[in-house]
């Protein structure tokens, strides 16, 4: 069974850095892209970017380019989403998802709530 388990909720201050994780199991991690999706409070889903663990090729949506970094550690089948300097507007739930051809997301993590507040 494919599972994506994300790290727990975070409360941070503006300007702080953060790295959240997504642990994959039940499939060959290096063979499938992993996508990250943002959901701000009370709002819809936004595609942030995705990474291919096989060669760490990462792509970002224009709105998120330069704002976050997506990475992987294949030795522990884990994908990461990180910020170097958080803003209050980064407050959201962040989901990782396995990405199949034809832009299908059949498996999702449970989400990580990130709260940025002074």
The residues that touch other proteins, with contacts defined as CB under 8 A, are 35, 37, 44-47, 49-50, 59-62, 95, 97, 102-106, 108-111
Residue with smaller CB distance to other proteins, 17 or 65: 65
Buried b (16+ CB within 10 A) or exposed e, 10-47: bebeeeeebebbbbbeeeebeebbbbbbbeeeeeeeeb
Residue with smaller CB distance to other proteins, 54 or 111: 111
Q: Shortest distance, CB of residue 75 to other proteins, whole angstroms?
A: 26
Q: Shortest distance, CB of residue 95 to other proteins, whole angstroms?
A: 6
Residue with smaller CB distance to other proteins, 13 or 59: 59
Residue with smaller CB distance to other proteins, 19 or 59: 59
Burial class of residue 115 in the structure, from the number of CB atoms within 10 Å of its CB (0-12 exposed, 13-18 middle, 19+ buried)? middle
Contact at 8 Å (CB) between 100 and 32?
yes
Q: Shortest distance, CB of residue 15 to other proteins, whole angstroms?
A: 27
């Amino acid at each position: 069974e494919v599972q994506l388990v994300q790290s727990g909720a975070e409360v941070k201050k503006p300007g702080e850095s953060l790295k959240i994780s997504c642990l994959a199991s039940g499939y060959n991690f290096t063979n499938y892209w992993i996508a990250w999706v943002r959901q701000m409070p009370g709002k819809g889903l936004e595609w942030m970017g995705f990474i291919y663990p096989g060669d760490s090729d990462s792509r970002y949506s224009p709105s998120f380019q330069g704002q976050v970094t997506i990475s992987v550690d294949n030795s522990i089948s884990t994908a990461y989403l990180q910020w170097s300097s958080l803003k209050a507007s980064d407050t959201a739930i962040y989901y990782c998802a396995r990405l199949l051809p034809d832009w299908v997301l059949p498996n999702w993590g449970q989400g990580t709530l990130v709260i940025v507040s002074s």
